[in-house]
Structure 1
Amino acid sequence: MPIVLFRVDERLIHGQVVVGWGGPLHADRIVVADDEIAASPWEQELYCLGVPPEIDAVFVTVDEARRRISEWKGGRRVIVLVRDVATARRVAEGGALAGEEVNLGGIHHAEGRTRVLPYLHLGPGDGDALREIAASGAEVSARDLPATRKVMLDELLAGG
C-alpha cells in the first residue's frame, strides 16, 4: 500500500489525525518525522497516549524519514506527519516525495504568518518551500479533513 497520508500539521498526533484521517484511511501506522521528538522518549510516550492500540506509532528523525519513505510506500497503511513546511521540504529533498500527495492540514496563527485558510497560516518562505516540494514531483494541497474540499497549491498561493 502507498503512504495513505503525508501531512503537515504542527500538532502532529491528535484527534483530527487519528480519528478524522486514520479511521477513513484505515491507517495501521503513524510515523512522526521530527528531530526533537525522535530524541525524546517521554514526548513520544505523550503522543502515544492518543494512538489506539491497533495503530503503531514510530518516531524518526527527518533524515531517517527521507531515507525510509520508499519503504513506507509498500506494505502497511502509513500516515507520515511533520510539524512544518520546512520539515516537509527537508523530507522531499532528492525527490523522496515524488508521486506522493503532501497535505497541509494544520498550521495555525502565529507572529509573521498570513492566514490562507481557517486552519492554514503560512510564514515567510513557506510558499517558496511548497513550490520546491511540488517541483520535486509531489502534489501539494490543503484539506483539514477527508470530506472537505481539497485546495490545490496554485489556489493557495494565488494571493502571494
Structure 2
Amino acid sequence: MTGPQIVWTRIDERLLHGQIRITWGKHSEANLILVANDEAAEGPNAAFMQAGMKASAGGEYAVRFFSIQKTIDVIHKASPKQKIFILCNNPTDVARLVEGGVPITHCNVGNMHYHDGKRQIAKTVSVDKTDILAFEKMVEKGVTCTVQNTPDQTPINVLELAKTAA
C-alpha cells in the first residue's frame, strides 16, 4: 500500500474559511480537507467551530476534524482516492505531524497574525521564536516551508524571510 495522498498542507490561523475553499482547494485539487487541530477536534467549542468551517467548505469537500495525535495515528489508513489537504493554524502542529511520521513535503504558510511577542516577516505572517524553531524542525526533516497567501503569488522561503526581517 502506498502512503496517503497529501496534496497540500497549509498554515492559516483562521483554519477553514472561504479562501481555502475557493482558492487553495481548487488549486490543490483536494477532495478532502483535514483540519488537524486539537481545539477544533476536541475543544470545548469544537461543535461550534466545526459547524462554521463545514459551512465554509460549501459541500465541495469532505471535511474531517482530527487532533494532531489522531492525524498521526490514522493518516496512513487513508484511501488512495482521498486527495488530502491538511490545514493547521500554527507551525508547531505541522512540525508535530512531520515528527509523528505524516509524510508532508511542503508547508504553505498563509496567515499567522501578529500578537504580542511576534514580529512581522511578511504582510500576513508574524512569527516568534517557537514558530521559527518549528519551521527549522520541518526543514531538517526535508519539508519546504514557504509563505504564499494566494496561488498567483511567488512562494518565498519562510526562514529566509525570518532572517531578513530580523
Match for 1:2: what amino acid? Answer: Q
Residue 33 of structure 2, aligned match among 27, 30, 39:
30
In the TM superposition, 1:15-94 aligns within 5 A as: 15-39=18-42, 40-72=46-78, 74-94=80-100
Preserved contact between residue 8 and residue 85 of structure 1 (Cα < 8 Å): yes
Deviates more, 1:28-37 or 1:73-82: 73-82
In structure 2, runs of 5+ residues without a counterpart are: none
Matched, 1:151 2:156: yes
Number of aligned residues: 159
Q: Distance in 2 between matches of 1:97 and 1:119?
A: 26
Correspondent of 1:103 among 91, 100, 108: 108
Instruction: Say whether 1:130 aligns with 2:135.
Output: yes
Q: Write out per-residue CA displacement over residues 8-62 of structure 1, whole angstroms, 9 at most, x where no aligned residue.
A: 1110001221111112222211100111111222321121111121311100010
Distance in 2, matches of 1:156 and 1:73, equals 36
| Of 67-76 and 23-32, the range deviating more from structure 2 | 67-76
Is the contact between residue 72 and residue 102 of structure 2 (CA under 8 Å) also seen in structure 1? yes
Q: Find the residue that maps to 2:85 and give its secondary structure.
A: strand
Q: Where in structure 2 are the equivalents of 1:4-19 lying within 5 Å?
A: 4-19=7-22
Identity %: 24
Stretches of structure 1 lacking an aligned partner (at least 5 in a row): none
How much has 1:70 moved relative to structure 2? Answer: 3.7
What is the CA deviation profile of residues 91-117 of structure 1, one whole-angstrom value per residue up to 9, with x for unaligned ones?
A: 11144335x101111101111111110
Contact kept? 2:36, 2:68, Cα under 8 Å: yes
Letter in 2 for 1:87: D
Q: How far, CA to CA, are the matches of 2:124 and 2:162 in structure 1?
A: 15
CA contact (8 A) 2:72 2:101 kept: no
Alignment RMSD (CA, Å): 1.9
- The change in CA–CA distance for 1:73 and 1:141 in structure 2 (over 3 A counts) is farther
CA distance in 2 between partners of 1:72 and 1:117 (Å) = 34
Counterpart contact for 1:103–1:141, Cα < 8 Å: yes
Measured in 1, the distance between the counterparts of 2:66 and 2:11 equals 15
